[in-house]
Structure 1
Amino acid sequence: MTAGAAVLAESPPRVLRLPAAEGIRVDRERRTVHVDGTEIDLTYLEFELLAHFVEQPHRVHTRVQLVSGVWGYGEHVGDGRTVDVHVARLRRKLGARYRARIVTVRRVGYKYTP
């Protein structure tokens, strides 16, 4: 296997589909998110945050891990409110039907439950 093939094998899937009843579709290649068939407008970080959660359902992510994994900073920046604000905006955009899928784990961070 060539080095290029190894990179392709490790790339995240182009379209992340949740169970059919879920109604959320994340397309990494087109950088789009559809909720119940309707495209929603997300900022760069909101998209990355949702894709990060969807790729690892049920896993608890600390705010530090999210800042590192999504924002790309090696160390925690600020007081964690940045993550909280982005999660709140993302929940609002997902709508009443899906906002509860991003669960707050008190004093730790967040997890996604499809």
Structure 2
Amino acid sequence: MTTALPAPVSATAVRRPPAPRLQLVGDRPPAVPAGGIGGGRVGYLVFLPADVDPVAVMTAHGIRPEIHPLDTRTLRAPAPAPAAPHPAPVRPDDAVRIDGARRLAEVDGRELDLTYLEFDLLAHLVAHPYTVHRRDALISDIWGYGHIGDGRTVDVHVARLRRKLGPAHRGRISTVRRVGYKYVPDHQ
């Protein structure tokens, strides 16, 4: 018994035409909303190679480009950012020391066993004494992103830090009710 084999297909017969690299959409205005007023505009962002003229591409597709030259006389320089207030000079805190290069925290000469985030939180608070830090600001500054959850994460880490600082120094991290926390170096 013999079986017929399919004829070999040439590479040119299988080749498909290249997909268009640019497709313009929205060449007509959107439908008028049910009870609304028509005439709305829709804008599209189209990326083109640097050597392609966008006006020629739009004209080739039957779209009338709207060109608005930039009037440099109406441009205004951006307003200068307000100067950050200079914090009052802070005397060094002898009890709590932070060595950022070695990621080492000491209290009264005793090295603290801190997790990565506990160290970052304590270092941040010690670097900005007397400054009230909101919980959400601490989340973005220490955790580095908008944390999904609530400020209880900060509360748990502060409670652990206070426990590790010990009874003599736990009051240095002061709670500002309904706001956040601040570090007070000379708290007794």
Which residue in 2 is equivalent to 1:37? Answer: 109
RCO higher in structure (CA 8 A, sep ≥6) = 1
Which residue in 2 is equivalent to 1:69? Answer: 141
Q: Which stretches in structure 1 are left out of the alignment for 5+ residues?
A: 1-16
Q: Within 1, Cα distance between the matches of 2:127 and 2:133? A: 12
Across the aligned residues of Structure 1 and Structure 2, the Cα RMSD in angstroms comes to 1.3
Letter in 2 for 1:90: L
Instruction: Tell me the TM-score normalized by structure 2.
Output: 0.49
Change in CA separation of 1:59 and 1:66 when aligned onto 2, cut-off 3 Å? same
Alignment of 1:73-84 (within 5 A): 73=145, 75-84=146-155
3-state SS, counterpart of residue 104 of structure 1: strand
Is residue 19 from structure 1 mapped to residue 90 from structure 2 by the alignment?
Answer: no
Compute the displacement of 1:34 (Å).
Answer: 1.0
Q: Is the 8 A contact 1:61 1:108 kept in 2?
A: yes
Q: Is the 8 A contact 1:67 1:77 kept in 2?
A: no
Q: Within 1, Cα distance between the matches of 2:122 and 2:168? A: 15
Is residue 101 from structure 1 mapped to residue 178 from structure 2 by the alignment?
Answer: no
Which one has a larger percent strand, Structure 1 or Structure 2?
1
Q: Within 2, Cα distance between the matches of 1:94 and 1:29? A: 20
Which residue in 2 is equivalent to 1:87? Answer: 158
Which residue in 2 is equivalent to 1:7? Answer: none
Compute the displacement of 1:63 (Å).
Answer: 0.5
Change in CA separation of 1:91 and 1:18 when aligned onto 2, cut-off 3 Å? farther
Deviation digits for residues 18-61 of structure 1 (CA, Å, limit 9, x no counterpart): 433xx111100000111111111000000000000011000000
Q: Within 1, Cα distance between the matches of 2:131 and 2:147? A: 19
Q: Which stretches in structure 2 are left out of the alignment for 5+ residues?
A: 1-90
3-state SS, counterpart of residue 153 of structure 2: helix
Compute the displacement of 1:76 (Å).
Answer: 4.2
Which one has a larger percent helix, Structure 1 or Structure 2?
1
Instruction: Tell me the TM-score normalized by structure 1.
Output: 0.79
Letter in 1 for 2:133: H
Is residue 110 from structure 1 mapped to residue 181 from structure 2 by the alignment?
Answer: yes
